[in-house]
Amino acid sequence: MVIATDMCPSYAPAAWLADESVQVPKINDPDYISVMQRLCKEKGIGMIIPTLDTELLVLAQYRQEFLAEGTEVIVSDFDVVSQCRDKRLTHALFTHLGMSPPKLMSPDELVYPVFCKPYDGSLSAHCHIVNNPHELNKAWMKDPKLIWMEYIDQSSYDEYTVDMYYDRVGKIKSIVPRKRLVVRAGEINKGITIKNSIIDYLYNRMGNVPGMRGVVCVQLFYQKDSGDIIPFEINARFAGGYPLTYYAGANYLGKLFDEYFDEKLIKYDDYWDDQTMMLRYDAEVIIKENKLVQGY
């Protein structure tokens, strides 16, 4: 049984498609955790799967309290989530793991072209490419949330999102690279799974990350001819493009149920289909007289 939570379930398509939906406060509301704990107790919920960046830190902070009441929260440890949410710390993590993320710069030592974005942003909001000093906006220079980094030419590199499954002790069990063919509002709109050298690269460097748990996705640039890989972001949650990974045969939900509900040992596998393509389009959920009449 799947129960969806939302601030306004009546207007959330997923809430209509779930078995049941429940209204909850905003993630920053002081009552959010107590409401969620009460909901888990009343409904006998065994697993919480967060899907939004903004809820990860809060749920990670209270993960042990939920676990004490019999509810698994599928989220990495608080310090790991903190490293993923703050892109400055993500840069340091990549470097520590022997990887080469884009070079960070201070605003007074920029080398053009340069890319800037919020250190805690998502959905590609407030991201800018600056080709020369004349394109600089004074407000950007004063914004303490913006970080400045080396610009990676996407005419030379392909962008990938890589779905990864970690078991409860931080060992990698699956790696699925997805090439982002078309992106809309920061989320993959058209993409394809590809088995290539990215898999070995990440397995050798991120095969064991203590505190990393469940599903995470790594974003990186990949140059096919040279094999050069430049990682730049980690999202410690299911990615918006995960359905492509699922339909390619990597069932991460099934792994979660096997590991946390049935106490099965999860083994590393690559039993998913190469060259599986996803072409997205908008679909409708239709409600009449407060009843679902059409949905997907």
Per-residue pLDDT reduced to its tens digit, 96-135:
999 999 999 998 889 999 999 999 877 667 888 999 988 8
pLDDT higher than threshold 90 for residue 82: yes
pLDDT value of residue 136: 85
pLDDT value of residue 123: 64
pLDDT higher than threshold 80 for residue 211: yes
pLDDT higher than threshold 80 for residue 192: yes
pLDDT value of residue 185: 78
pLDDT value of residue 296: 66
Strand order, beta sheet including 114-118 = 104-105, 146-150, 114-118, 128-130
pLDDT value of residue 268: 98
pLDDT value of residue 137: 83
pLDDT value of residue 295: 77
Domains of the chain: 3-75 (3.40.50.20), 103-150 (no CATH), 156-279 (3.30.470.20)
What is the SS3 assignment for 200?
helix
Instruction: Write down the pTM of the prediction.
Output: 0.93
pLDDT higher than threshold 90 for residue 204: yes
pLDDT higher than threshold 90 for residue 245: yes
Q: What is the DSSP string of 95-130?
A: HHTT--PPPEE-TTS--SSEEEEETT--TTTT-EEE
pLDDT higher than threshold 90 for residue 58: yes
Residues pairing with 166 in the sheet: 172, 214
Mean predicted confidence (pLDDT) in 222-246: 96
Residues pairing with 167 in the sheet: none
pLDDT: which is higher, 154 or 94: 94
Percent of the chain at pLDDT > 70 equals 99
pLDDT higher than threshold 90 for residue 238: yes
Q: Which is nearest to 163 in space by CA: 179, 181, 184?
A: 179
Amino acid, single-letter form, for residue 212? M
pLDDT higher than threshold 70 for residue 76: yes
Q: What is the mean pLDDT of the chain?
A: 94
| Pairing outcome for strands 3-6 and 20-23 | parallel
Mean predicted confidence (pLDDT) in 80-103: 97
pLDDT value of residue 187: 85
